[in-house]
Amino acid sequence: MPTYADIISIGDELLYGQTLDTNAHWISGRMDEIGIKVKRRITVADDESEILKAFQESEDRSDIVLITGGLGPTKDDLTKPLLARYFNVSCILNESALADVTEFFKKAGRELTEANRQQAELPANCTKITNRMGTAPGMWFDERNTIFVSMPGVPYEMKTMMDEIILPRLKQKFVGGVIHHRIIKTIGIAESTLADKIADWEAALPPHMKLAYLPSPGQVKLRITTMGNDKDSLRAETNQQVERVLPLIEQYVYGYDNDEIESVIGQKLIQNEKTLAIAESCTGGYLSHMVTSIPGSSAYFKGSLVSYANEIKEGMLGVDSQTLEQHGAVSEEVVLQMAKNIRAQFNTEVGLAISGIAGPDGGTEEKPVGTVWIAYSDSQKTTAKKFNFSKSRVLNIKLSALSALNMFRIHFFSN
């Protein structure tokens, strides 16, 4: 029987869509790491009746109730008085909390206000949790076989409290079994095609192993989750299954777990001591942005030319004007020259090039919006491929850049 947790996020600003709730997401990840299952996440307004209902429902559902928000010194902060009411106790001055908040203000060189003093009054049945990063103390309740934890909504205050105090306590109290995850990352194959290819393998998975498909444009992640008692045996069991499924989909797999296609490529370039340059047209800099989003990419990426206008393709990149005129900028001939020339001009071992029609305008019957040519070039080969993506400009830009990285993976890795 796993341990269950509910996460309650409190705040009007969340339900108005003004503040993105990254707290619940972050806490979910931490719970997963220590094998506690988040059963439900709830977001409620700064509203007495809604908050009290949420407390009751979560107590009925889970062993642990983790609450963020509503702890500030202003009137719309209701969490503390409502927890007192929920447990039918009063708020009394907590000397240790007062010492914390006095110390905090002393360090910040600020005066303690009456509002801050009141923050040290806590429900009589709770244990204070020190807030090293702010003024509102956290609270820990152990009542009727349920743990309630109340934390501030300010992310760095909550995270510090969680990592330093709450997680170690929860781990000690609840963690029996373990959860193991393994993520296989694929590119260049549709979710449904992938599902068809591995259907037999999936059907034969043991019942305590769960498979999830996590799709995003151009990519599908396969997550295998196993629960049990021994981390090592779960890992071994999972690896066996990975070895079984890999031959079915190997050509689409670029990495595992936290790997990203742009970092995998970077590692390969570093290992092989090679450098990369890019000539991009319809992607307008997005491919270069992906490559340079990786810290340390300056070790293998020399730069790129965004040749948006044809005169730049000719003048700066040396694409032959006759070829441009005869075949058009979006053509195999032009993209091959772009990849070859950028490699020569930037003096790199590898060149990538993209030329296409991102849309919404510029399409023709022969070359509709979404037509994109991508080329790869190194000292041994120069090759191009045509893609037909979508009608969406944003999507065409993303899929073109991803496909260029995938072409790199396919051709560079096979050398």
* Residues 177 to 206 in contact with a second copy, rule: CB under 8 A: 181, 190-193, 195-196, 202
Cα separation of 57 and 46, whole Å?
A: 17
Task: Looking at residues 287 to 306 of the shown chain, list those that interact with a second copy (rule: CB under 8 A).
Answer: 287-289, 291-293, 295-298, 301-306
From the list 286, 10, 35, the residue with the least C-alpha distance to 158 is 10
Task: Looking at residues 324 to 363 of the shown chain, list those that interact with a second copy (rule: CB under 8 A).
Answer: 345-347, 359-362
CB of 234 to a second copy, least distance (A): 15
Region from 31-39, 85-93, 234-242, 377-385 binding a second copy, contact rule CB under 8 A:
31-39
Q: Does 102 bind a second copy (CB under 8 A)?
A: no
CB of 267 to a second copy, least distance (A): 16
Q: Does 75 bind a second copy (CB under 8 A)?
A: yes
Task: Looking at residues 221 to 250 of the shown chain, list those that interact with a second copy (rule: CB under 8 A).
Answer: 223, 225
CA gyration radius, the chain: 28
Would the CA dihedral through 218, 188, 224, 255 be positive or negative?
Answer: negative
Distances (CA, A) of 372 to 96, 142, 324, 327, 403: 65, 60, 15, 14, 10
353: region left, alpha or beta (phi > 0 left; psi from -120 to 50 alpha): beta
Return the number of the residue (124 or 344) whose C-beta is nearest a second copy: 344
Return the number of the residue (68 or 116) whose C-beta is nearest a second copy: 116
| Of the candidate residues 3, 10, 38, 138, the single one contacting a second copy (CB under 8 A) | 38
Cα separation of 190 and 85, whole Å?
A: 53
CB of 12 to a second copy, least distance (A): 6
Instruction: Please answer whether residues 1 and 177 qualify as being in contact, where contact means their C-beta atoms are separated by less than 8 angstroms.
Output: no
CB of 125 to a second copy, least distance (A): 26
# chain residues binding a second copy, by CB under 8 A: 108
Pairing of strands 37-44, 64-68: unpaired
Q: Does 402 bind a second copy (CB under 8 A)?
A: no
Task: Looking at residues 153 to 172 of the shown chain, list those that interact with a second copy (rule: CB under 8 A).
Answer: 154, 156
Dihedral, CA atoms, 386, 389, 393, 395, nearest 10 degrees?
A: -120
| Of the candidate residues 2, 34, 52, 73, the single one contacting a second copy (CB under 8 A) | 73
Return the number of the residue (72 or 123) whose C-beta is nearest a second copy: 72
Return the number of the residue (76 or 143) whose C-beta is nearest a second copy: 76
What DSSP character marks residue 412?
Answer: H
CB of 212 to a second copy, least distance (A): 5
- Per-residue binding string, a second copy, 264-283, x by CB under 8 A, is --------------x-x--x
Burial (CB count <10 Å: 0-12, 13-18, 19+), residue 343 = buried
Q: Could you please report the per-residue DSSP string of 132-168? A: TTSSS-EEEEEETTEEEEEE-SSHHHHHHHIIIIIHH
**Three-state DSSP class for residue 200:** helix
Region from 161-169, 216-224, 235-243, 248-256 binding a second copy, contact rule CB under 8 A:
216-224
Tokens describing residue 116? 């801050």
Region from 68-76, 82-90, 241-249, 260-268 binding a second copy, contact rule CB under 8 A:
68-76
In Å, the largest CA–CA distance within the chain is 85
Return the number of the residue (236 or 309) whose C-beta is nearest a second copy: 309
Task: Looking at residues 124 to 143 of the shown chain, list those that interact with a second copy (rule: CB under 8 A).
Answer: 133, 135
Q: Does 106 bind a second copy (CB under 8 A)?
A: no
Instruction: Please answer whether residues 302 and 275 qualify as being in contact, where contact means their C-beta atoms are separated by less than 8 angstroms.
Output: yes
| Of the candidate residues 10, 21, 55, 226, the single one contacting a second copy (CB under 8 A) | 21
Burial (CB count <10 Å: 0-12, 13-18, 19+), residue 67 = buried
Q: Does 218 bind a second copy (CB under 8 A)?
A: no
Instruction: Please answer whether residues 385 and 374 qualify as being in contact, where contact means their C-beta atoms are separated by less than 8 angstroms.
Output: yes
- In this structure, what are the phi and psi dihedrals at residue 209, rounded to the nearest 5 degrees? -115, 130
| Of the candidate residues 212, 236, 270, 344, the single one contacting a second copy (CB under 8 A) | 212
| Of the candidate residues 1, 20, 247, 271, the single one contacting a second copy (CB under 8 A) | 20
CB of 390 to a second copy, least distance (A): 7
Return the number of the residue (10 or 375) whose C-beta is nearest a second copy: 10
